[in-house]
Amino acid sequence: MKTNSLVVAMLLGIGVCIDTRAISVSGLYNTGVDDSGQVIPLHAAELHWVVQGPVDTVYRVPIVYHSPGHQAWVTPPEGSAWIGPNPTESTWPHDPPGLYTYKLEFIVDLGGIDPQTLTLVGRWASDNWSEIWFNGEDTGYARDLWGFVDLQWFSIQGGFLDGVNTLVVKVLNQEWGGNPTGLLVSDLQIIQGGLPIPPPGTSVPDAGGTFGLLLAGIGAVVAVRRARCRGNSQKLQTQPWQSGEKRVSSKKTKTLSR
């Protein structure tokens, strides 16, 4: 299409390196949403993340409070929700202790693109300790006992497979007393060359007002980031997802059982 060619020409003209080969992603979902990315009803069963451990089904659950008016769990961003094992109205459920292994499988069609140019980013919170694994490898990202009070970014570069990829979050619920457990994953996306890969079916806007705004936005982003081409990738300034806490396994405050 002429519009696509013009977009490519403009991007190259302002110094943005892009790879024009096709790549597609399907099945990449935040926690607690339906196939369209909308949050599912409270107490509805989770549709995309599966779990192994003390239970075999999880649900969208309400935010936990220490006491009335004293919120414990961080508020989910739009397009995400907390999931947990207990479909109850209680804001302090007594959930089973133990290790919960949450797994999301999604498909990447690399289309011949080097997987090392791709980065999986997102934010997560957990109650309690947690670790993030990608395609069977420990990424080094972990949360401690208080992992539910805020969201932290993670950024996983490379390691993608052409086909089914697996993102796993292992969550350990503390073993004393009756207490809640849950997982929240938001802002999940794949970045290529510093730009998000659009979801399937997304088209480039036609020429006109929207197209002009698109180019203006691209120009502003490039001006702020001052990206520099290196081969088929970009060297970008620090992005928000690069600020997540990452610790190698030997330095984790608690090692979860495998």
Mean pLDDT of the chain: 77
Please indicate, yes or no, if residue 208 is contained in any of the structural domains: no
Please indicate, yes or no, if residue 209 is contained in any of the structural domains: no
State how far Cα 124 lies from the chain centre. 7
What's the pLDDT score for residue 194?
Answer: 64
Identify the domain containing residue 60 by its residue range. Answer: 24-196+236-251
Please indicate, yes or no, if residue 6 is contained in any of the structural domains: no
What is the C-alpha separation between 132 and 120, in angstroms, rounded?
Answer: 12
Q: What is the Rg, in whole angstroms, of the alpha carbon atoms belonging to the chain?
A: 20
* Residue whose C-alpha is closest to residue 72's, from 128, 129, 132, 7: 128
* Beta-strand runs (E) in the chain: 24-26, 50-52, 59-60, 65-67, 70-71, 83-84, 98-109, 118-127, 129-134, 137-143, 152-157, 163-173, 182-192, 195-196, 228-230, 233-235
Instruction: Look up the CATH number of the domain holding residue 190.
Output: 2.60.120
Asked, as a colleague might, if the bond just before 128 is cis with ω within 30 of 0, I would say yes
Fill in the DSSP letter of residue 179. Answer: B
What is the C-alpha separation between 44 and 201, in angstroms, rounded?
Answer: 27
- 211 three-state secondary structure: helix
Please indicate, yes or no, if residue 210 is contained in any of the structural domains: no
What is the C-alpha separation between 31 and 59, in angstroms, rounded?
Answer: 10
Angle between helices 2-13 and 209-225 (to 10 degrees): 20
What's the pLDDT score for residue 199?
Answer: 53
pLDDT tens string 82-137: 999 988 888 888 899 999 999 999 999 998 899 999 999 999 999 999 999 999 99
Contacting residues for 147 by C-beta, under 8 A, at least 6 apart: 125, 126, 127, 128, 129, 130
Please indicate, yes or no, if residue 244 is contained in any of the structural domains: yes
Structural domain total, the chain: 1
Q: What is the mean pLDDT of residues 49-73?
A: 93
Please indicate, yes or no, if residue 18 is contained in any of the structural domains: no
What pTM, to 2 d.p., does this model score?
0.73
Q: Is-contact 125 102, C-beta < 8 A? A: no
What's the pLDDT score for residue 23?
Answer: 75
pLDDT tens string 171-182: 999 877 678 999
What is the C-alpha separation between 52 and 97, in angstroms, rounded?
Answer: 13
Please indicate, yes or no, if residue 203 is contained in any of the structural domains: no
Please indicate, yes or no, if residue 73 is contained in any of the structural domains: yes
